[in-house]
Structure 1
Amino acid sequence: MEILWLSEEDVKASLSMEETIEAVEEAFREEGLGTVQMPPKSYLLYKKYNGDLRTMPAYLEGMEATGVKVVNVHPDNRGRGLPTVMALVVLNSPKTGAPTAVMGGTFLTSMRTGASGAIAAKYLARKNCRTVGLVGAGAQGKTQLMGLAEVFEIENVKIADVSLDRCRALEEEATAFIDATFEISTDIEDVCDVDILVTTTPSRKPLVKDDWIRVGTHINAIGADAAGKEELDPAILKRAKVVVDDIVQATHSGEVNVPLSEGVIAPGDIYATIGEVVARKVPGRKDDDEITVFDSTGLAIQDVATALRVYRTAVEKGLGRRLPFL
């Protein structure tokens, strides 16, 4: 038998943001309906190198999709000329367990995370959102904005980063897919007076203060994906409707992990999972004055659902290389 190898370039040629949103929304719906198997991420920590390695398996019964992603997060890689996040995804046959494809998962990871933010905002943000604030001007800032641009008519984008050069670079890239005005700053407060705020940093201390957030704001908290990380003032969570992607993962590694461990919030302060909202088990936003927060840790079901879409498109296009396996 053979397996299909898809490089990062093959994956990029096989995946649009619109398609990613469709795949991830279906995955969230399956999770909400209880038709997925997804153990929590397992971590190997490399304290010496300020990094970690994670394995993320999942099975989506309704989509007949199963596989595993192996992904690293090494913040210091930027100085090594390498991406902070690199990944591989293996797709398997649910029927036989045989691997059907191995593909680069770095671009896929960025896209599916951007898609998750767009889906969360679709259900949790106000319907007439026009302004977006980005805290962090890295690769994830770009795909978060790409996803939101698929759902809303964005007119103004505010970007804050410690590096104005990164802000300018993101602005230049974003003009290829969004027609909006841009404002850039090194001061986070400058970008918080918006309809949708997105945080994508690896911070281990709160960056966004409670008194900067107005009523009606939706926040996609993306950066906290390991124990000890947090980007938001816990007081924001106290007055917000908090929706997580997965209860177990968020509790030990999401935006809520530190406030929970310190007793600032309780498990009962978590409103629902995004899957429950997408599956219509619980309502999303109820009124325009609610502050809503989506705590995204990144789920294996997102990777596997998106990888299946990539695989099918690549086969249709004749992309990739067939490699002998057995």
Structure 2
Amino acid sequence: MQTLLLDSDAVATNAAMTDVIPAVEEAFAADDRGDVQMPAKSYIELDRYNGDFRSMPAYLDVAGSATDEEWDAAAVKWVNVHPDNPEDHDLPTVMGTMIYSDPETAFPLSIMDGTELTLQRTGAAAAVATDHLAIEGATSLGIVGAGVQSYSQLEAIAAVRPIETVVVSDLDDARVAAFLEAYGDQFDVREGSVADAAGCDVLSTVTPVRDPIVPYEALGEHTHVNAIGADAEGKQEHEAATLLDAKVVIDDYEQCTHSGEINVPWANGEIDEDDLYGELGAIVTGRVEGRTAEDGITLFDSTGLAIQDVAAAHVVYERARDEGEGTEFDLLGLD
């Protein structure tokens, strides 16, 4: 029996957004139904190297409401964040490895690149939230932070809304230029300030900042915000005033209060449970309403869940296996 090795190119090729988005949506629904096991993300802080490791295990049992398929899957992602890597070691800041296993036997079906997988599932999660919380006719998307995640944000959100105009803001001119070149033929893409991006119908913020950079007053009257960047304690992209005014939807209570967009104002006592509308899974299953006609600003606090990784890995593995892609390897020496 062989383990399928899938590098970043293989993951990208087999992680079609049209498949990953519904799979991630099913994962949110399964979470709301209680059909997942997902221990809290654990951290190993490496102050000596200005970095950390994070382990994210999960098991997911999908009833198949969106695809009429029933499947279950288990996996663990081992991921890091080392901000000094690009300059000091010519390595990415974030790298991940995904071990995807057969729940029945525990056999490691696949070892795949978790970095590309993370990009795809994070974009898909934002798309699920946008589909349930943004205005139906949203045609403009603002992106603050033109790193690699900005690409999957645009591709995923454009799959659920008729995006025409894209405003991108970043302090790095080279990143902005690369983004404009990548999408100039597909969208009306332009560089703008943070305030320009914030005024769009949908706004995705994907920065590592620890002090808010998006002014509350710059947001449009009905802007939906995907707050992606805050993924560790002390990070914050948006002002507390935004969180107090917006309909705030979170992906997971424990993770968001510890390390999501809400973690700093939560710890400071500026917001509490009364300021949280609910979890995205409850909206997906219909237990809680999504966007209503009365809503103004909505905000999705996305910390990234292990069940999203498992759902995306399921899509990638099944498609790669069917297409005969990847490299088979006798990891356990059974053949």
The answer as to whether partners of 1:126 and 1:288 remain within 8 angstroms in 2 is: no
| Structure 1, unaligned runs of 5 or more | none
Q: Kindly tell me: are residues 128 and 278 of structure 1, through their superposed partners in 2, closer, same or farther at Cα, counting changes over 3 Å? A: same
Q: What amino acid sits opposite 1:190 in the alignment?
A: D
| C-alpha separation in 2, matches of 1:98 and 1:180 | 44
The residue that corresponds to 2:79 in the other structure is 71
Residue aligned with 1:5, SS: strand
Alignment of 1:38-57 (within 5 A): 38-57=38-57
Q: What amino acid sits opposite 1:55 in the alignment?
A: S
The answer as to whether partners of 2:247 and 2:295 remain within 8 angstroms in 1 is: no
Q: What amino acid sits opposite 1:248 in the alignment?
A: E
The residue that corresponds to 2:37 in the other structure is 37
Residue by residue over 1:71-90, the C-alpha shift from the partner in whole angstroms, topping out at 9 and shown as x without a partner, is: 11122223233222111111
What stretches of structure 1 move > 3 A for 4+ residues in a row? Answer: none
The answer as to whether partners of 1:217 and 1:290 remain within 8 angstroms in 2 is: yes
The residue that corresponds to 2:67 in the other structure is none
Q: Does 1:184 align with 2:191?
A: yes
| C-alpha separation in 1, matches of 2:28 and 2:295 | 26
- 1:14 positional shift: 1.4
Q: Does 1:295 align with 2:304?
A: no
The residue that corresponds to 1:87 in the other structure is 96
The residue that corresponds to 1:250 in the other structure is 256
- 1:289 positional shift: 4.2
The residue that corresponds to 2:119 in the other structure is 110
Percent same amino acid at aligned positions? Answer: 46
Q: Does 1:279 align with 2:285?
A: yes
The answer as to whether partners of 2:101 and 2:109 remain within 8 angstroms in 1 is: yes
- 1:102 positional shift: 0.8
The residue that corresponds to 1:4 in the other structure is 4
| Structure 1 vs Structure 2 CA RMSD | 1.3
Q: Does 1:153 align with 2:162?
A: yes
Residue by residue over 1:105-148, the C-alpha shift from the partner in whole angstroms, topping out at 9 and shown as x without a partner, is: 11111011011111100000100101111110000111101101
Residue by residue over 1:246-297, the C-alpha shift from the partner in whole angstroms, topping out at 9 and shown as x without a partner, is: 1100010000000100000002311111111111110011126421000000
Q: What amino acid sits opposite 1:3 in the alignment?
A: T
Residue aligned with 1:207, SS: coil
The residue that corresponds to 2:135 in the other structure is 126
Is the deviation greater in 119-128 or in 279-288? Answer: 279-288
The residue that corresponds to 1:263 in the other structure is 269
Q: Kindly tell me: are residues 175 and 25 of structure 1, through their superposed partners in 2, closer, same or farther at Cα, counting changes over 3 Å? A: farther
- 1:158 positional shift: 0.6
| Structure 2, unaligned runs of 5 or more | 63-70
The residue that corresponds to 2:68 in the other structure is none
- 1:165 positional shift: 1.8
Residue by residue over 1:45-83, the C-alpha shift from the partner in whole angstroms, topping out at 9 and shown as x without a partner, is: 112322111100111123311110111112222323322
The residue that corresponds to 1:164 in the other structure is 173
TM-score normalised by L of structure 1: 0.96
Residue by residue over 1:163-202, the C-alpha shift from the partner in whole angstroms, topping out at 9 and shown as x without a partner, is: 12211111111246xx3212213x3122211111110000
The residue that corresponds to 2:236 in the other structure is 230
The answer as to whether partners of 1:32 and 1:281 remain within 8 angstroms in 2 is: no
The answer as to whether partners of 2:183 and 2:189 remain within 8 angstroms in 1 is: no
